[in-house]
């Protein structure tokens, strides 16, 4: 059986209902997992889909390049669109349904609503992309309502997005459980991203400073350092040593509410980096990444694995 493709909310609900009925007729309980994406899928997305497929009997993947989260000067038209390959990846990873609506299906002409999370959306990436997270929250809430999933899966590479969506669903008491999944990385530690395909060898070499900077900070933290400026300095020294990398921000934030950590690291925190690399022809690519600094046993192993990866590629 191939992947099912829904283009409208009505088609989506009918497909989910049919799959649920089939399971229930066989005496099986059904649960729905959801992976929202903008397409151009890669192994990082496949990891989310596989986790959903393991934990749910039905997995839905949305493929929708959301115009509301792009500013006028950003790369909406250039964003890669690889729908056939995306569907193949979804099928191989265990999904049953791809939801691929048009912008008109998501946002009718009389659509007037915006969803936002105050304060958390105004820092980090939000300080440089003012309307971005309003667009993200609006589309994600619509999608969560359309799919009515038990669980939704988000990669932790965009930690700010995960934190904001978690807070949004908490505040409005949305029934879908939001689950964060550890970032999938290339052999040298660079986080997988749809935008990596924009980079030539020159930009790719410069981008390697991002995971190196995060590992440097993680090593300082794991050595027992809790002074926030010292941890930040370890990361910034690496970033500043690469002239081809244009730093946008390098910040240490509380992992739960994204408030700035200025003195001591007393709670689980996220060290986040954003910046630009440039191809030989002058085309720039914006990249983001982060590392979660924690002693929580549930996340500590991921942190240690990240540091070990750096040792392996030195």
121-178 tens-digit pLDDT: 999 999 999 999 999 999 999 999 999 999 999 999 999 999 999 999 999 999 999 9
Residue 304 CB partners (closer than 8 Å, separation 6+): 222
Q: Tell whether the model's pLDDT for residue 314 goes beyond 60.
A: no
Question: What is the chain's mean pLDDT, rounded?
Answer: 94
Q: Which CATH architecture has domain 194-313?
A: 2-Layer Sandwich (3.30)
Whether 128 is a known active-site residue: answer: no
Span 275-281, mean pLDDT?
95
Percentage of the chain lying above the pLDDT 70 cut = 98
Domain ranges of the chain: 4-181, 194-313
Q: Tell whether the model's pLDDT for residue 237 goes beyond 60.
A: yes
193-213 tens-digit pLDDT: 988 988 999 999 999 999 999
State the catalytic residue, choosing from 45, 174, 267, 295.
45
- Order the strands of the 284-293 sheet from edge to edge: 246-254, 269-278, 284-293
> Domain spanning 4-181: which superfamily?
HUPs (3.40.50.620)
Residue 156, token pair as written in the block: 């932790």
Residue 194, token pair as written in the block: 């749809």
- Beta carbons within 10 angstroms of residue 142's beta carbon: 20
């Amino acid at each position: 059986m191939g992947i099912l493709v829904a283009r409208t909310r009505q088609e989506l609900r009918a497909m989910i209902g049919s799959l649920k009925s089939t399971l229930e007729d066989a005496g099986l309980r059904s649960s729905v997992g959801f992976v929202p994406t903008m397409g151009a899928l890669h192994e990082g997305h496949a990891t989310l889909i596989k986790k959903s497929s393991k934990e749910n009997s039905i997995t839905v993947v949305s493929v929708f390049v959301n115009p509301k989260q792009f500013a006028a000067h950003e790369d909406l038209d250039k964003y890669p669109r690889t729908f056939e390959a995306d569907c193949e990846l979804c099928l191989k990873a265990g999904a049953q349904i791809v939801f691929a609506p048009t912008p008109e299906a998501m946002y009718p002409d009389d659509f007037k609503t915006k969803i936002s999370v105050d304060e958390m959306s105004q820092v980090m990436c939000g300080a440089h992309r003012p309307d971005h997270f309003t667009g993200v929250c609006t589309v994600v809430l619509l999608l969560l309502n359309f799919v009515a999933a038990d669980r939704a899966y988000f990669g932790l590479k965009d930690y700010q997005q995960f934190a904001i969506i978690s807070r949004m669903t908490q505040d409005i008491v949305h029934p879908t459980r939001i689950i964060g999944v550890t970032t999938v990385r290339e052999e040298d530690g660079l986080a997988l991203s749809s935008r990596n395909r924009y980079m030539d060898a020159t930009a790719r070499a410069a981008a390697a400073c991002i995971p190196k900077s995060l590992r440097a900070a993680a090593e300082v933290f794991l050595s027992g350092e809790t002074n926030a400026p010292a941890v930040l300095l370890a990361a910034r020294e690496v970033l500043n040593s690469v002239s081809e990398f244009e730093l946008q921000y390098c910040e240490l934030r509380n992992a739960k509410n994204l408030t700035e950590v200025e003195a001591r690291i007393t709670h689980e925190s996220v060290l986040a980096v954003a910046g630009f690399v440039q191809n030989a022809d002058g085309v720039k690519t914006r990249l983001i990444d982060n590392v979660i600094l924690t002693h929580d046993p549930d996340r500590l192993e991921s942190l240690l694995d990240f540091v070990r990866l750096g040792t392996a590629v030195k």
